Amino acid sequence: MNQNQPTTTSPVITGCALSPAQTALFYSICQSALHRPKKYLRVANGGSQKYPGHIGGRCLASFDCDPNGARVCMPLTTVRDCFADCPNAADEECPANTVLCDSKISHGCGKCVKLEERDMRCRDRRWRNICSEAEHFKCAQTDNCVLPNWIADGIDDCADGSDEDLCALQSPGCNETNISSAIASPFDVDAAIKRPMEGCLEGEFRCIISQECISVVNVLDGIEQCSDGSDEKYCKEMAGSEMCQKPEQCSFNPVNGMFTCDCPLGYSRTSSGLCIPSLAPVFSSDCADLQKRYHSVRSGLFRLNDWSCSNPDLCPFTAQCEMDLLGGGWTIIMQRFNTSLSFDKNILEYENGFSIDKSNFWIGLERMHQLTSRPQCSNELLLRLRTARNGQIILVRYSHFIVFEKLMDYRLTVNELAHGQLCPFVTSSEKECEGGGGWWRKGCQQRGVLTALNKAYGTYPGLNWNGKRLSAVQMLIRPRGYVPPAKKSY
């Protein structure tokens, strides 16, 4: 299996005093069973020979960061897991009689091999002999060289991506202004999305004069996004009488990202001139609603409306939407693209939500409650995880996800609970657990706390999933049974 292909796992129930009949409950949130992963056994067996002085000494069955210095012990699971947990990074050094290679390839932190096996097993040097050829391209980060006809052929021969990066190569095919402004995601296998030389991507509108590309969602929303104002003024000031027989016919069709006369069959024209599917919701209370209104919309940050308000238009909020994964329509409620940033916050921050930057945020418990308490609209939960060592993508899907109100301590339920105690949301100030972070806890001895500290210490193994250290985390929700609309290209 390709290591970049998502792996979907099924949840297992333990902890939180739940009924045995609940066979699809939140696997990691309320689990108390502990076990040692296979990696622990591999390092433990023969560890004193592989890491002399570090294993089997004063730290006993743990890893001693500096046998000659202050005593700092780490779990054996942290050895060579792509996170430097020791102050001196000794846990990421190679075992005795091996050398490090592939440390600068596209993902991971390299591998340890015997010196005589480097040429056979290491991707960062497999094409270094080509460097002696008269015509060659030297790779940016690795020891490889590639032939001219290998450049931009869709294959990462350099292993660092430099032979496929047209802009780094200063190739005529590069157009810096045509690179998507979307946040680079560690879950994306491909590099930054490049727009065609002429025009915009599907789901975008090309400003009439300034030629900028903006999301179709931003057209006729009352806020000028184009520097020429064409996204808001086109029909009133720029179209001219020759475009449509009647001014009120001028409409924006988000399907093809163009202004037209009248809306296509199956669409209705709003008072502002926007063409919306006739069966689409009046407003977007989540990202699935947004996708129902704009079938071709791309992933990004959008303004949504609180359904519980008497006038939702007066209660906007912003949310990141994932419109590609499994058809799209996902509202991202938590995202950690840089797990070294701390998510150990107080209860008010967890209630109201916080954003460290555009890539690392928590939407808020109040917002989670609002999103998951809509009448006749149960939600499913998807965890998207990326392992640090090999970039493996893991998907874990749960069929029901509800966060209760503050009076119930924002307790969590997944699936329909006949009986059993639900887990309350607690922060590190309320319950001092290793790793910290606010989460739905019953006790400290549980795995899968995705807001916990990424760095290991003592007996705490660091942010992980089933023994695999994580470099990126997302929690996403969408209505259960949601059928994404078909997307068309133009």
Encode pLDDT of 43-68 as tens digits.
Answer: 656 667 889 999 988 998 899 999 99
pLDDT given for residue 18 in this prediction = 39
The candidate with the shortest Cα–Cα distance to 476, out of 382, 345, 397, is: 382
Out of 4-13, 207-216, 418-427, the most confident range is 207-216
- Residue 209 vs residue 168, higher pLDDT: 209
Rounded Cα distance, 458 and 235, in Å? 65
| Token representation of residue 83 | 């996170």
Residues near 100 by beta carbon (within 8 Å), at least 6 away in sequence: 94, 110, 111, 112
Contact between residue 308 and residue 367 where contact means Cβ atoms under 8 Å apart:
no
Q: Is 325 exposed, middle or buried (0-12, 13-18, 19+ CB in 10 A)?
A: middle
Residue 24 vs residues 133, 305, 381: alpha-carbon distances, Å: 58, 31, 11
pLDDT at residue 36 is higher than 80: no
Provide the pLDDT for residue 43: 61
Q: Which of 399, 387, 404 is closest to 472 using CA atoms?
A: 387
Q: What is the pLDDT of residues 120-170, one digit of tens each?
A: 899 999 999 999 999 999 999 899 999 999 998 888 899 888 888 866 666
Task: Name the residue with tokens 């999103």.
Answer: 371
Percentage of residues of the chain with pLDDT beyond 70: 81
Position 425 pLDDT exceeds 70: yes
> What is the structure's pLDDT at 174?
55
Kindly provide the b/e burial profile for residues 351-372, where b requires at least 16 CB atoms within 10 angstroms of the residue's own CB: bebbebeebbbbbbbbbbbbbb
Confidence check: pLDDT of 179 > 50: no
pLDDT at 309 over 70: yes
Token couple for 179: 């690179």
Q: Is the pLDDT of residue 230 over 90?
A: yes
Alpha helices in 250-401 (DSSP H): 287-293, 347-352, 365-372
Q: Identify the band that residue 320 occupies on the pLDDT scale cut at 50, 70 and 90.
A: very high
Predicted confidence at residue 34, as pLDDT, reads 34
pLDDT tens figures, 448-473: 899 999 999 888 889 999 889 999 99
392: tokens are: 């493996």
Q: What is the pLDDT at residue 479?
A: 96
Cα separation, 466 vs 468, whole angstroms: 6
Positions of E strands within 329-484: 330-336, 354-357, 360-362, 379-387, 393-398, 402-403, 412-413, 425-426, 439-440, 464-465, 468-479
Structure confidence at residue 417 (pLDDT): 42
List alpha helices for 244-364, DSSP H.
Answer: 287-293, 347-352
Residue pair 387/473 in contact (Cβ under 8 Å)? The answer is no
CA distances from 258 to 6, 46, 158, 185 (A): 36, 66, 41, 29
Mean pLDDT of the chain: 83
Report the pLDDT averaged over residues 360-382: 95
Confidence check: pLDDT of 190 > 50: no
Give the residue from 157, 158, 218, 166 showing the smallest Cα distance to 192: 166
